[in-house]
Amino acid sequence: MDPLLFTPLELRGLRLRNRIVLSPMLTYSAERGFVNDFHLMHLGKFAVGGTGLVFFESTKVDPRGCTTARDLGLWKDEFVAPMARIVAFLKAHGAATAIQLGHSGRKARSTLPWEGRVPSPDLPGVDHGEEWELVGPSAVPHADGFPVPRELTRAEVKDLVEAWGKAAERANRAGFDVVEIHGAHGYLIHQFLSEHANRRTDEYGGSFANRMRFALEIAERVRASWPAEKPLFFRASAVDEEGWRIEDSIALARELKARGVDVIDCSSGGMTARSAVESVRTLRYGYQVEYAAAIREGAGIATMAVGLIIHADQAEQILRTGQADLVALGRELLHNPNWPVDAAEKLGVGRLGYGQLPRSYGYWLEKRAGTNYGGRPSTWQVGIGDTASAAPARIAASEGLR
Residues forming a β-bridge with 22: 54, 329
pLDDT at 123: 66
pLDDT at 280: 46
Please give the angle made by the CA atoms of 244, 203 and 266, to the nearest 5 degrees.
Answer: 30
Establish if 308 belongs to a structural domain: yes
Residues forming a β-bridge with 59: 72, 101
From CA 20, how far away is CA 314, in angstroms rounded?
A: 12
86: domain CATH number is 3.20.20.70
What average pLDDT does range 224-230 have in this prediction? 98
pLDDT at 275: 52
Establish if 191 belongs to a structural domain: yes
What average pLDDT does range 265-280 have in this prediction? 74
From CA 268, how far away is CA 248, in angstroms rounded?
A: 13
Count of domains forming the chain = 1
* 101-131 tens-digit pLDDT: 999 999 999 999 999 888 877 766 666 568 8
What average pLDDT does range 243-258 have in this prediction? 98
Q: Under a CB-based contact definition with an 8 Å cutoff, are residues 163 and 61 in contact?
A: yes
pLDDT at 125: 63
pLDDT at 370: 80
Q: What is the mean pLDDT of the chain?
A: 90
pLDDT at 283: 76
Whether the predicted pLDDT of 390 surpasses 90: no
Establish if 383 belongs to a structural domain: no
Establish if 151 belongs to a structural domain: yes
* 325-336 tens-digit pLDDT: 999 999 999 999
Establish if 296 belongs to a structural domain: yes
pLDDT at 160: 98
* 176-220 tens-digit pLDDT: 999 999 999 999 999 999 999 999 999 999 999 999 999 999 999
Closest CA to 183 of 214, 152, 149, 208: 214
From CA 89, how far away is CA 123, in angstroms rounded?
A: 34
Given the residues 28, 187, 204, 373, the one annotated as active site: 187
pLDDT at 127: 66
Q: What are the Cα distances from residue 77, in Å, to 24, 28, 51, 91, 217?
A: 22, 21, 28, 22, 23
Q: What global pTM score does this model have?
A: 0.90
pLDDT at 126: 65
**Could you tell me which residue, 345 or 1, shows the higher pLDDT?**
345
Range in 144-153, 191-200, 239-248, 386-395 with the lowest mean pLDDT: 386-395
Establish if 361 belongs to a structural domain: no
DSSP state of 325: S
Kindly state the helix (H) or strand (E) to which residue 150 belongs, with its residue range: strand 150-151
Establish if 215 belongs to a structural domain: yes
Q: Sorting pLDDT into bands at 50, 70 and 90, what band is 27?
A: very high
Whether 187 is catalytic is yes
Whether the predicted pLDDT of 388 surpasses 80: no
pLDDT at 274: 63
* H helices present in 51-153, as ranges: 80-92
- Residue 160's contacts (CB-CB under 8 Å, 6 or more residues apart) are 61, 62, 103, 152, 188, 214, 218
Q: Is 175 exposed, middle or buried (0-12, 13-18, 19+ CB in 10 A)?
A: middle
* 46-94 tens-digit pLDDT: 999 999 999 999 999 999 999 999 999 999 999 999 999 999 999 999 9
Whether the predicted pLDDT of 266 surpasses 60: yes
Establish if 17 belongs to a structural domain: yes
Q: Sorting pLDDT into bands at 50, 70 and 90, what band is 397?
A: very low
Whether the predicted pLDDT of 19 surpasses 70: yes
Whether the predicted pLDDT of 145 surpasses 50: yes
Range in 123-132, 257-266, 354-363 with the lowest mean pLDDT: 123-132
pLDDT at 342: 96
Residue range(s) defining the domain that contains residue 285: 4-337
Helices 208-225, 246-258: inter-axial angle, 10-degree rounding: 40
